[in-house]
Amino acid sequence: MTADTPTRARVLVVDDAATVRLYHSSLLTGAGFEVSEAANGLEAVEAALGASFDLFVVDVNMPRMNGYTCVETLRSETVGSDAPVVMISTEDRPGDADRAYQAGANLYLVKPVAGDRLARIATMLTAGRDAA
Amino acid sequence: MGLVRKQAPQQPEEVLPEPPDTGTLLSQLDDPDPDCRREAALGLVDVAEAVPELLARVGTEEDPRVLESILTTLAARDTEEVAGGLAVHLASDEAVLRTAVAAALATMPQSVPALLPNLLAAPDHDVRVMTAMVLADLPHPEAHTWLVKMICEDPHPNVVTGAIDALLPSATAEDAQLLRDAVERFPDDPFLRFTVNAALPRLTGTA
Q: Tens digit of pLDDT for each residue in B108-159?
A: 999 999 999 999 999 999 999 999 999 999 999 999 999 999 999 999 999 9
What are the residue ranges of helices labelled H in B154-187?
Answer: 157-167, 176-185
Residue B22 pLDDT exceeds 70: yes
Query: Rounded to an integer, what distance in angstroms lies between the CA atom of residue A85 and that of residue A63?
Result: 19
Report CA torsion sign: B182, B185, B190, B191. negative
Residues of B whose CB is below 8 A from A96: 93
Interface of A with B (CB under 8 A): 17-20, 22-23, 26, 60-63, 66-69, 90-93, 95-96, 99, 111-115
Q: What is the pLDDT of residue A1?
A: 43
A59-108 confidence digits (pLDDT tens): 998 888 889 999 999 999 999 999 999 999 887 777 788 999 999 999 99
Task: Name the band, by pLDDT with cuts 50, 70 and 90, for residue A36.
Answer: very high
Nearest CA in chain B to A91: B126
CB B120 within 8 A of CB B128: yes
Task: Name the band, by pLDDT with cuts 50, 70 and 90, for residue A112.
Answer: confident
Q: How far, in whole angstroms, is CA B151 from its chain's centroid?
A: 21
3-state secondary structure chain A: CCCCCCCCCEEEEECCCHHHHHHHHHHHHHCCCEEEEECCHHHHHHHHHHCCCCEEEEECCCCCCCHHHHHHHHHCCCCCCCCCEEEEECCCCCCHHHHHHHHCCCEEEECCCCHHHHHHHHHHHHCCCCCC
CB B86 within 8 A of CB B104: yes
Residue B164 pLDDT exceeds 60: yes
Other C-beta atoms closer than 10 Å to the C-beta of B75 total: 19
HSE-up (13 A, CA, CB side) for residue B204 = 12
